[in-house]
Structure formats: structure tokens, C-alpha cells
């Protein structure tokens, strides 16, 4: 076979292909026929060689605010140039979102009475009382209604809608509750109490994996689904309709929680017995200060691409880190705010790491 004959099939093959040249007026992520082609940069054309025919093109902005999808036909052209115009529509959507999150929404518009009435109605609807317990081994749980709120720091809020009601521990898991787990679950690990002593203290020195194992055991004991909270659920439950830095106001104040400079007798010394401070509007104690609480989510540096439906963010991010919230008795006040985020390696056990559980409701 001659050299020229060898080239004929390749030419024929190339004649059945075309180049799609994509340009965009803002950075986005690109999918072609459900295959991830990564980032498409503003003013940086990208050439893709594709077979002749129809191809499904999908682009989405980095923050997920705007997504476009279309079918691109490639016929006999050698090259097709397509300009992806996102900037104008994105600016309109962003302005609308900023207007929306710049003022109270959802539960933030309700009075204290309305919030608590909604709690009661939600509990009644699913056949529970507002505060309940699934037997002697289980913690006290509080019903939290579905609703919307603005999540995050004042300069970077976005709307989250908790689509389903859930229950959350009235207090962090205590030493007494963990002792029950050690005894009945026949586990070998009994966390150090830091020489503080007291069954009504929050259990500490537990890792994220320890917390998961406890939730799994409790689910088996009760026949219900216990789990760690998502980060979005935690902030929703913590705020309880508030829009301030702390759920009681914009200042740390005196004796509202257990952290540095909070005026409590335990500040910078040790954890306090659970329930030592007034609850938030939902009736939850110690959501800020006392101990850091492990959450389900993988650590991400910011909220770009985060779910907006209250579910945990369990993809991408730093797979070696998990989110914690709430601050502790040793934290500065700025770390014990509703919006503050913290992360840690899930295997670490620390003197101020603890947990609070959620329970999935019907």
C-alpha cells in the first residue's frame, strides 16, 4: 500500500469532523454531550473538534446563578464560531438576587409568635410535640419548620430554602448520653472529660467519625434516622429568624453564651453545663459558644456552587476537611457568630469539639 493510499482514510475521517470555536463574555464551566470540558475563560476562545451532527452544549457560571443549554448542529462547515453571551442576563439576575437578599425574606419576616406557632403547627402535622424524645437513650429533639432565610456574612448573603422540616437536638450531646452509647453500644472509646466532670456537660474530644458512629448507633436503637446537620440547616436553626450577628443581637453582650469576653463564669476556662444560657426563638440552647459542633458538609472556602435547598454539600471541596460551627468556650466572640465558619480534619479529637444531631422527619 502506498503512502498516498494510507492517507485517504484519515482524510475521509477528518472530513466528517468540524471545529466548534466557542467564545464567551464571562467565565463559565462547559459541558459538551455531558462530558466536562472544564473552565471556559472570558475572551479566550476554545476550539473543540467534534463529529458532524448535533451536539448538546451546556454552560454554567462559576457561582451557578446562570445556566444555558442548546443543541449545536455541525454540518459540512470546517469551523463554526459561537459567541456565548451571558454577561447581560447574569447582571440582571445578580441585581435581582442582591435586591432580594438585601432585605429580610422568609422566616426573617415572621414575628417570634409566628415562628413558634409555625413550629407547633409543623409538629402537630407530623404527629409530634414541638419537643420530643425517641426513648430514654435519645436526646431531646426540637421540631424545626421548613422555610427560607439569608445565609452567610452580611457582605455575602444568599437565599437558602429549607424544603423539609427536620428536628435538631435541644442541646449538644452530653457526657451522660455518650456514656449510654459506650455502655449499650459496647464501644471501646470513652472520650476524655478534660477533668471537668459532670454528666450534663457537652461531650468533647470526639471526631467527625465518632459523631457519625454515634448517629448510626442511635438510629439503630430508635428506628429513626439520626444524622449530623447540614451547614445550611445549622445556620437556619441557629438564627431562628434573626438577622443579627448573634441570635440575641449584634453584640456579644453579657452572659448570653460561653466564649471569651462573654461575661460567663466559664469563659476561657471550660465548657459549661448544657442549657446554662437562654435559648433562641426555636428553643435551642448553646448554638453559639460552649463547643464546636461537627456538621455533615465537606469544607469549601466559600459558598460558590453551594446547594440552596438545605442539603449538605458533599461533593468537591477539600475532602480532608469537614465543617464545624458555633465557636466554643475558648473562642473569641467573632468566632461564635451565626455566620462564622470553621473546618477541621475529621479524624481529630479536641477538647472543644463536640456534636449535636438532627433527625429526619416524615
Residue 242 and residue 356 in one domain = yes
pLDDT (average), residues 88-97: 86
pLDDT band at 260 (very low <50, low <70, confident <90, very high): very high
Residue 80 and residue 161 in one domain = no
Rounded Cα gap, residues 306 and 43, in angstroms: 27
Residue 52 and residue 171 in one domain = no
Please tell me the pTM assigned to this model: 0.75
Residue 197 and residue 256 in one domain = yes
What's the pLDDT at 100? Answer: 67
Query: Cβ of 222: how many Cβ atoms within 10 Å?
Result: 15
Beta strands in the chain (DSSP E): 17-24, 28-32, 35-40, 46-51, 53-61, 67-74, 79-84, 131-132, 141-144, 147-151, 158-162, 166-169, 226-228, 292-299, 318-325, 342-344, 353-354, 357-360
Q: Which domain holds residue 138?
A: 104-360
* Among 218, 231, 131, residue whose Cα is nearest residue 180: 218
Crossing angle for the helix pair 208-222 and 175-184, to the nearest 10 degrees: 70
CATH number at residue 145: 3.90.1580.10
Q: Is the pLDDT of residue 3 over 90?
A: no
318-328 pLDDT, tens digit per residue, is: 878 999 999 99
CATH number at residue 85: 2.60.40.2190
Residue 118 and residue 199 in one domain = yes
pLDDT band at 193 (very low <50, low <70, confident <90, very high): confident
Rounded Cα gap, residues 326 and 315, in angstroms: 23
pLDDT (average), residues 230-259: 97
What's the pLDDT at 195? Answer: 84
What's the pLDDT at 93? Answer: 85
From 97, 112, 129, give the residue that closes a domain: 97
What's the pLDDT at 12? Answer: 47
pLDDT (average), residues 244-256: 97
C-alpha pair distances (Å), 298 with each of 148, 291, 320, 325, 350:
22, 19, 8, 13, 19
293-319 pLDDT, tens digit per residue, is: 999 999 999 998 899 999 999 988 787
pLDDT band at 340 (very low <50, low <70, confident <90, very high): very high
C-alpha pair distances (Å), 256 with each of 214, 243, 286, 298:
29, 17, 9, 30
Query: Which residue carries 433527625 as its cell?
Result: 359
Q: How many structural domains compose the chain?
A: 2
Residue 317 and residue 332 in one domain = yes
From 97, 113, 148, give the residue that closes a domain: 97
Q: Is the pLDDT of residue 86 over 70?
A: yes
6-45 pLDDT, tens digit per residue, is: 454 444 455 689 999 999 999 999 999 999 999 999 999 9
Residue 88 and residue 110 in one domain = no
Residue 61 and residue 25 in one domain = yes
Q: Is the pLDDT of residue 1 over 60?
A: no
SS3 (DSSP) at 101: helix
Sheet holding 353-354, edge to edge: 342-344, 318-325, 292-299, 353-354
Q: Is the pLDDT of residue 192 over 90?
A: no
pLDDT (average), residues 114-137: 97
DSSP 78: S
- Residue 238 and residue 281 in contact, taking contact as beta carbons nearer than 8 Å: no
- What's the mean per-residue pLDDT of the chain? 92
What's the pLDDT at 5? Answer: 47
Residue 252 and residue 120 in one domain = yes
How buried is residue 80: exposed, middle or buried, by Cβ count under 10 Å (0-12/13-18/19+)?
middle
143-160 pLDDT, tens digit per residue, is: 999 999 999 998 778 899
Rounded Cα gap, residues 243 and 198, in angstroms: 34
Residue 46 and residue 116 in one domain = no
What's the pLDDT at 76? Answer: 82
266-289 pLDDT, tens digit per residue, is: 999 999 999 999 999 999 999 999
Residue 48 and residue 155 in one domain = no
Residue 11 and residue 65 in one domain = yes
Query: Cβ of 28: how many Cβ atoms within 10 Å?
Result: 22
Rounded Cα gap, residues 88 and 54, in angstroms: 27
- Residue 130 and residue 283 in contact, taking contact as beta carbons nearer than 8 Å: yes
Q: Helices in 208-253 by DSSP H: which ranges?
A: 208-222, 231-239
From 97, 128, 146, give the residue that closes a domain: 97
Rounded Cα gap, residues 329 and 276, in angstroms: 13
Amino acid at each position: 500500500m502506498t503512502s498516498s493510499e494510507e492517507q485517504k482514510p484519515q482524510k475521509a475521517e477528518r472530513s466528517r469532523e468540524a471545529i466548534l470555536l466557542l467564545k464567551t463574555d464571562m467565565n463559565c464551566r462547559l459541558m459538551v454531550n455531558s462530558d466536562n470540558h472544564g473552565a471556559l475563560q472570558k475572551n479566550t476562545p476554545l476550539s473543540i473538534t467534534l463529529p458532524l451532527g448535533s451536539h448538546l452544549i451546556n454552560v454554567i457560571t462559576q457561582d451557578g446563578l446562570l445556566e444555558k443549554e442548546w443543541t449545536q448542529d455541525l454540518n459540512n462547515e470546517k469551523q463554526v464560531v459561537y459567541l456565548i453571551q451571558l454577561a447581560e442576563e447574569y447582571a440582571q439576575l445578580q441585581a435581582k438576587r442582591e435586591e432580594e437578599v438585601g432585605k429580610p425574606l422568609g422566616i426573617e419576616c415572621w414575628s417570634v409568635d409566628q415562628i413558634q406557632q409555625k413550629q407547633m403547627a409543623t409538629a402537630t402535622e407530623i404527629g409530634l410535640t414541638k419537643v420530643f424524645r425517641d426513648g430514654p437513650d435519645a436526646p431531646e429533639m426540637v421540631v424545626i419548620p421548613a422555610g427560607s432565610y439569608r445565609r452567610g456574612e452580611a457582605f455575602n448573603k444568599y437565599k437558602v430554602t429549607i424544603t423539609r422540616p427536620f428536628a435538631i437536638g435541644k442541646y449538644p450531646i452530653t457526657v451522660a448520653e455518650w456514656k449510654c452509647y459506650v455502655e449499650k453500644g459496647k464501644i471501646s472509646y470513652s472520650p476524655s472529660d478534660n477533668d471537668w466532670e459532670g454528666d450534663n456537660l457537652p461531650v468533647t474530644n470526639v471526631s467527625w467519625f465518632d459523631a457519625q458512629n454515634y448517629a448510626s448507633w442511635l438510629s439503630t436503637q430508635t428506628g429513626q434516622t439520626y444524622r449530623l446537620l447540614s451547614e445550611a440547616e445549622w445556620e437556619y436553626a441557629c438564627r431562628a429568624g434573626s438577622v443579627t450577628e448573634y441570635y440575641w443581637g449584634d453584640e456579644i453582650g453579657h452572659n448570653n453564651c460561653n466564649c471569651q469576653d462573654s461575661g460567663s463564669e466559664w469563659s476561657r476556662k471550660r465548657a459549661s453545663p448544657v442549657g446554662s444560657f437562654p435559648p433562641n426563638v426555636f428553643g435551642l440552647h448553646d448554638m453559639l459558644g460552649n463547643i464546636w459542633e461537627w456538621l455533615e458538609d465537606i469544607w469549601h472556602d466559600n459558598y460558590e456552587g453551594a446547594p440552596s435547598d438545605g442539603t449538605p454539600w458533599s461533593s468537591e471541596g477539600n475532602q480532608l476537611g469537614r465543617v464545624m460551627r458555633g465557636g466554643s468556650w475558648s473562642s473569641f466572640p467573632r468566632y461564635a457568630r451565626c455566620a462564622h465558619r470553621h473546618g477541621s480534619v475529621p479524624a481529630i479529637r479536641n477538647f472543644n469539639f463536640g456534636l449535636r444531631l438532627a433527625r429526619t422527619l416524615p
